Structure 1
Amino acid sequence: MRAYRSNDETKSGAVLAPALYMVGEQDVGLSMPGMRQIIDAMPDLVPNLKQSLTIPDCGHWAPQEKPHEVSEAALTYPVGLTKRPQAAETTRSDYVRPGL
Structure 2
Amino acid sequence: MKYIALINWTDQGVQAAKDSPKRLDRARDMGHAYGVSVEQAFMTMGDVDMVCIVDAPDDAAFARFGLKLAGTGAVRTRTLKAFTEDEYRSLMNSL
Higher strand share goes to which structure? 2
* TM exceeding 0.5: no
Greater relative contact order (Cα 8 A, min sep 6): structure 1 or 2? Answer: 2
Higher helix share goes to which structure? 2
**TM-score, normalised to structure 2's length?**
0.30
**TM-score, normalised to structure 1's length?**
0.29
